[in-house]
Structures are given as C-alpha cells and as structure tokens.
Amino acid sequence: MNVHPAPVAGRILALDLGQRRIGVAVSDELRLTAQGLDTLECRTEREDLDRLAHLIEEKDVVLVVVGNPIRMDGAEGRRSEWARRFAEKLQRRTGRPVILWDERLTTKSAERVLRSSGISRAKRSRAADRLSAVLLLSSYLEALAASPQTAGSA
C-alpha cells in the first residue's frame, strides 16, 4: 500500500480493527479534536467495507488511519498483516489514502481509563473500541501537528 502524507485539509477517520467490532473516530476539519463515533459490529468484510465507504463519504473524510497492531517487540504479526490487507481493500474501495498507524497500548490505555471510570464490564468492551479509535486518532493528530511533513509515513 502506498503511504501518503496527510492531505492539507479535511477530516481524518481512525479505525481500531477487531474481529467482532470496529472502533471509529473522526477529527474535526481543523484536526484539533478526535470524536468517537458508533462502534461497528463486524459482519462480512464486504459489508464492513461498504459501511465504512459510506461513512467516509458522509463525513467527507480525506484520509483514513487504521490501527496497526504491532507487537511490543516492534515486529509485525498476523494481525498486522490482516490490518494491512484490510487497509489496502479500503483504499481501493474508497479512493482515499489509507495509512497504518502504530496502535500499541491504545487498547490497554482505553481499558485502564474505562476501568477507573466505573463503567460496568458489560459496557466496557464497546466503549473500549470507541476510545481506542479516539486515542489512535489523537496520537496521529499530535504527530501531524508536530511534524506535518512526516506524519503520513509511519
């Protein structure tokens, strides 16, 4: 997949891919904030790609950031390869640039925040997917603000 620098303006969508759910977050047009959207329950890959393409169009997204589940030792495993293939298919389906972004520790951070907030265990997993996508997007936005020329190359 080609790595694209972030387009100069427009909303960015972040996806925290899971086997059962996809956490989703979107930036504002100025790229100052990340807002969690409804978590998508996975269906078939084709349906998931169609729903995401519709969302990308509806929110006028110019770039998609997909969480790359790199292992703690920095190596890419099977889940990374799966995320890469999904990102490539989403890019072909939408015509929008899609990049992979290191998501190490976002899920753990989200779970820690939610545990400390007192949310019931039953509601935590869905909220964790959304919060993970928000944390992923926030990380990307921070890197973009710090170095606009290189944030699209991670």
Q: 15 lies in which domain range?
A: 11-153
pTM of the model: 0.84
* 50 domain-assigned: yes
Order of strands across the sheet that contains 98-102: 34-41, 21-27, 11-17, 61-68, 98-102
* Confidence at residue 8, expressed as pLDDT on a 0 to 100 scale: 72
* 18 domain-assigned: yes
Residue 106 CA neighbour count, 13 Å, CB half: 29
* 1 domain-assigned: no
- Give mean pLDDT in consecutive 10-residue pieces for the chain, a chain of 154 residues: 61 95 96 95 97 98 95 83 97 97 70 64 71 92 77 51
Q: How many domains does the chain have?
A: 1
